[in-house]
Amino acid sequence: MPVVNLERRGHVALITLDRPEALNAISPEVAVRLDRIWHEVRDDDAIRVAVLTGTGRSFCAGADLGQMIPLVSGARQPENEWDEQILKDPGTGGRALLRNFDPDKPVVAAINGHAIAGGMELVQGTDIRIAAPAAKLGVQEVKWALFPAGGSTVRLPNQLPFSKAMELLLTGDLISADEALQLGFLNYVDKEPLERAMGVAEKIAANGPLAVRAIRRSARACAGLPEAEALKVESQFSAPVFQTEDAREGPRAFMEKRQPNYQGR
């Protein structure tokens, strides 16, 4: 059975990490398969939104310390095609964690359990986040004398208050889902995170796909820019949307009191 699964539900791609016996830790095989899936999400126009979740009691426990870390450090020799691919393309792991790869579609995280280390870094690369009440989140690499190289020293101080981000980065402590919600890191805490995430994803998928992608691109590109500069960048994304067929279909459907039929054109 694949350790990462992709299921299409209409215009929503459901991506499931499926190594419950290893708390969905990121092995070389997980990294390679997840990297391939993110490329598929980006390149398939029929996919408008992705939902990412895990099986079992963990969302993702981070890198597999028995497989991934010894391999990339040279302490373990490659044993299969997945190991070979990681050594051949060192960027695979980063792309799997959405560190140096953008799927160009909204990604909703359904955090079914603990998101730790690389699992937390994967969450940081998503756009909307729903966690189970018992979930705990944090980057614990420092406890094992490792660096959270999946983007945490860049993203976490931007996504949390600076002092709280530094506390998590330097102590390796975990926070509860409720605290993450209060800090604004999560959108919701829900007993059924996947059901809630799919509901959000379906709402997004029903909207104009070109508008959705342009809005997401603009929000990410404008983050941290001075307002005057950001407004110029925003115009570069907004202007083309008004020239699309979908931009004509949306107002027409509103006036005709019917559901719009967006084609992504």
Q: Which of 69, 54, 70 is nearest to 20 (CA)?
A: 54
Contact 161, 183 (CB under 8 A): yes
Q: Are strands 49-54 and 58-60 parallel, antiparallel or unpaired?
A: unpaired
Is residue 249 annotated as part of the catalytic site, yes or no? no
CA dist., res. 24 & res. 55, Å (int): 7
**What radius of gyration do the chain's Cα atoms show?**
19
Identify the three-state secondary structure at position 188: strand
Q: Which of 222, 19, 186 is nearest to 109 (CA)?
A: 186
List 7, 121, 167, 245, catalytic entry = 121
Q: Which residues contact 95 (CB under 8 A, 6 or more apart)?
A: 35, 38, 101
CA distances from 236 to 47, 100, 222 (A): 24, 23, 11
**H or E element in which residue 49 lies:** strand 49-54
DSSP state of 20: G
Phi, psi of 12 (to 5 degrees): -105, 130
List 79, 81, 141, 229, catalytic entry = 141
Is residue 121 annotated as part of the catalytic site, yes or no? yes
Q: What are residue 110's DSSP bridge partners? A: 130
Active site residues: 121, 141
